Amino acid sequence: MAPFDLSRQQQSIESKIVVALERISESFRVMLWQKSKEVGLSPIQIQILIFCHYHSGAMCKVGYLAKEFNMTKATISDSVKVLAAKDLITKQLEPDDSRSYVIKLTAKGMEVVKQTAPFATEMLHSVENLSSLEKTNLFSSLLRMIDHLNQAQIITIQRMCHSCAFYDRRLNGPYCNFLNKALKDKDLRIDCPEHQPLS
Ligand code: SF4
């Protein structure tokens, strides 16, 4: 069923939620475009800079970025070339593989991140307006939806607790064997630097 079919949508809360999520996704696109115009970079170039600034070197490679952003390696490589030509990143060659490199931000690249990374601030404000219970419920629902989309292979990369080798489903509730602590709903992570993929 197409959730965008207006005659059916009104009878279906599921369809209304899907359309609401589409509006939210559109907001991200608009906010990123605004930054794009300000700094003269494409949205994906900005996303690469922000991602590489906040993630470890192992993730700042063309192959990983292609999966992260659901794009081809060629598209990511083209963006990386532009970023390098603008002196926003450097390519750090891997000692054991001359075809592979890690993307490192230059001081100029970090300045661009400072300017663009708050692109979703208005979205943050909209979440801040929710009550604690609404935030907890929303977060749990979103995690379950992302889990589903991951299993359906639409989101291929995720670094959440449910797919982590350190995640322990104990009788009295989930536990993280890396942090050595019980995980309440609000402690579950969406992008954990310690995430260990299941083998
Ligand atoms: S290491 Fe991170 S992702 Fe893994 S269970 Fe612990 S908090 Fe969750």
pLDDT tens readout for residues 38-62: 999 999 999 999 999 999 999 999 9
In this model, does residue 84 exceed pLDDT 80?
yes
Cα(186) to ligand 1 centroid in Å equals: 13
Cα(79) to ligand 1 centroid in Å equals: 31
Of 9 and 18, the one with more pLDDT: 18
Residue where a domain stops, chosen among 74, 90, 120: 120
Instruction: Confirm or reject: Cβ of 119 under 6 Å from ligand 1.
Output: no
Give the integer Cα–Cα distance in Å for 52 and 65. 9
Q: Which residue has the tokens 């995980």?
A: 183
Instruction: Confirm or reject: Cβ of 166 under 6 Å from ligand 1.
Output: yes
Does 154 lie in the same domain as 116? no
What single-letter amino acid sits at 61?
K
Pair 198, 164: CB distance under 8 Å: yes
Question: What is the number of domains present in the chain?
Answer: 2
Does 163 lie in the same domain as 109? no
Question: In sequence order, which ranges of 69-168 are alpha helices (DSSP H)?
Answer: 73-85, 107-116, 121-128, 132-151
Does 46 lie in the same domain as 90? yes
Tell me the β-bridge partners of 170: 173
Which residues form the domain of 142?
Answer: 131-187
Task: Give Rg (Cα) of the chain.
Answer: 19
Does 148 lie in the same domain as 56? no
